[in-house]
Amino acid sequence: MNRRTVVVVVVSVVALNVAVLVGALLDRSEVVEGPAGSSYVTAPDGVAAWYELLRRRGVDVRRLRLPVDASTLADAGTFVVVEPGVAAFAPSELDALRRFVEDGGTVVVAGNVDAATVERLVDFDPGWDPAGDETISPWGAPPGGPGEVRAAGFGSWDRAGPGLPVLGGARPVALTFGVGDGIVHLVADGSVFANWALAYPGNARYAAGVVGDGPVVFDEFRHGYTEARSALPAAWRRTWPLLAFVVLVGLYAAGRRLVPAQETTRDLGPGRERYVESVAGLLVRAGDPTATLPALRAEARRLVATRAGVAADADADRLEHAARRLGLDSRTVAAIMGGDDDTETLLAVHRAVASLRTATTERVLR
């Protein structure tokens, strides 16, 4: 056995042990970042805190990574889906959910869901609107009461129809429908259940009460999490990328170069990817992207006034001056104050809102 072969064997064995160790650690860890509304995600826009809140209260909570059908809903009490953005419900899944509700089950749908899905569940389209409030009281209750909840302000319903308004002011944010022997809760703004929002007592109280006694099933198939059907053990399937890395290390130790010396493209960082995904979601939800511009402009001006310490009803010149003092460039300021109603302007205003909100949140935390 020559020296090179010995080096390859030793390096491969070491790398294999590292791969197995890392695989074991990953297997025991929780997913921290991912799609908004996922019960796996512990980032601010996930709902892992809701899942954990119910679990600590003794509720049987589960995660569904398969399409909805009679078998996956067989022993469930409540089915929950928040911000279903990756996989749309198939007609057969909607039929299964409808039968589940009619037989006495509870369904909680939070965020913007297409009208066809809502109508199949409750026989009515309340009309989702991207504009919403950040402070929401129980329907008919005065602001500031014990049941007040917080939200990001991205969503409300145009009309209640046969539904019972539960949260909201001039327009409802949460509606409850009786369907057969069961209940459907439609919550226009999914951030009511977000990790950051459950720090508020009103949100935690509503999140715990809306699902009943369980078992509660969180739909993760809608967020892209799937359960592979394979004869291989799950631990093996999770570790195979690391084993592939071991092979590459062995080849590199043998002196073979299999990749270019320099990368030819630059990958977007995770922050940029999340931003692109959030903008894409906004465009898809709005249908006509520019229809959201008035609401976004109003939110941007409010944030400028808050950060700059000026009155919320300040005139345009003063708001424009305040925006420039906050470091916004001329193009962004022009987009906030008015101008063309096109996609480029929409993106500029959306970036400004995201930037101002982040800065405001950091200032509050400090």
Tens-digit pLDDT profile for residues 249-286 = 777 666 554 445 555 566 555 555 555 556 555 555 65
pTM of the model: 0.56
Place 294 in a pLDDT band, splitting at 50, 70 and 90.
confident
Minimum mean pLDDT among 13-27, 153-167, 281-295: which range?
13-27
Taking the C-alpha atoms of residue 211 and residue 218, their distance in angstroms, rounded to an integer, is: 11
Q: Where are the beta strands (DSSP E) in the chain?
A: 61-64, 78-82, 106-110, 128-129, 135-136, 149-150, 156-157, 164-168, 172-179, 182-187, 216-219
Average pLDDT of the chain, as a whole number:
80
Q: Tell whether the model's pLDDT for residue 361 goes beyond 60.
A: no
- Any idea what DSSP says for residue 206? H
Residue 167 main-chain phi, psi, to 5 deg: -130, 145
pLDDT band at residue 25 under the 50/70/90 scheme: very low
Is the pLDDT confidence value at 61 over 50?
Answer: yes
Confidence grade of residue 229 (pLDDT, cut at 50, 70, 90): very low
Query: Confidence class of residue 359 from pLDDT cuts 50, 70 and 90?
Result: low
Residue 81: what pLDDT? 96
Would you state the structure tokens that stand for residue 204, as one six-digit string?
């935690």
Task: Please give the Cα distance from 191 to 112 (Å, whole number).
Answer: 11
Cα–Cα dist 3/6, whole Å:
5
Instruction: Using alpha carbons only, give the angle 177, 221, 116 rounded to the nearest 5 degrees.
Output: 40
Report whether the peptide linkage leading into residue 233 is cis, meaning its omega lies within 30 degrees of zero: no
Q: Does residue 21 surpass a pLDDT of 80?
A: no
Q: Which residue has the higher pLDDT, 41 or 227?
A: 41
The pLDDT of residue 148 is 93
Work out the percent of the chain whose per-residue pLDDT is above 90: 43
Backbone angles phi, psi at 358, to 5 degrees: -60, -45
Q: Which fold has domain 48-223?
A: Rossmann fold (3.40.50)
Report the alpha-carbon distance of residue 162 to residue 149 in Å, rounded. 24
Extract the tokens encoding 259.
Answer: 């990749």
Question: How many residues would you count in the chain?
Answer: 366
* Domain(s) of CATH 3.40.50.880: residues in the chain: 48-223
* Among the listed residues 40, 22, 24, the one whose alpha carbon sits nearest the alpha carbon of residue 32: 40
Residue 99's pLDDT is what?
Answer: 97
Lowest mean pLDDT among 5-19, 184-198, 347-361: 5-19
Q: Given this model, what pLDDT does residue 226 score? A: 87
